[in-house]
Amino acid sequence: MYKKRLWTMRQYAGFTSAEASNKRYQYLLKNGVAGLSVAFDLPTQIGYDSDHPISVGEVGKAGVPISSLQNMETLFRDIPLDQVSTSMTINATAATLLAFYIASAENQGIPME
C-alpha cells in the first residue's frame, strides 16, 4: 500500500474547546495535512464530563474537551469525515467517542456502508 501512496501526514492537536480545535483542524487541512489526530483533555480521556467537580482545572488543558455529541459535531464541523482520515488517541472512553464520531458522520449525511 505505501509503495504507491505516501503515509498519511497528521498533526496531533486539540485545543481548549471544540470550536478552537475545529479552527486549528481547518487550518491544518488547508495547509497540507492529509489526516487529523485528535488530542483529548484528561477528563475526556477518563470519562468525566467537563462540568464534573473532579474535572476542575483540567478541562481543555491537554487537549479538546468532548462531553457530548454536540461537542463532537462542533469539532468536525465543515470537515468531510468521509474524505479525511481521523485518528483518536483514547482508551477508556473509546466506545463513547466512537459513537459520537459515527453519529457526527451520519449527521453530515455520510452513509454507513
pLDDT digits (tens, 9 = 90+) for 37-88: 999 999 999 999 999 999 999 999 999 999 999 999 999 999 999 999 999 9
* Mean pLDDT, rounded, for 12-34: 95
pLDDT at 1: 53
Strand order in the sheet with 10-13: 10-13, 35-38, 85-88
Q: Is residue 112 part of a domain?
A: no
Looking at the 3D structure of the chain, how many domains does it have? 1
Percent of the chain with pLDDT over 90: 81
Instruction: Please report whether residue 82 resides in a domain.
Output: yes
In a domain, 2, yes or no: no
Asked whether residue 113 is assigned to any structural domain, the reply reads no
Rounded to two decimals, what is the model's pTM? 0.89
Within a domain: 50: yes
Residue 33 resides in a domain: yes
Structural domain that includes position 87: 10-107
* Residue 96 maps to a domain: yes
- 4 in any annotated domain: no
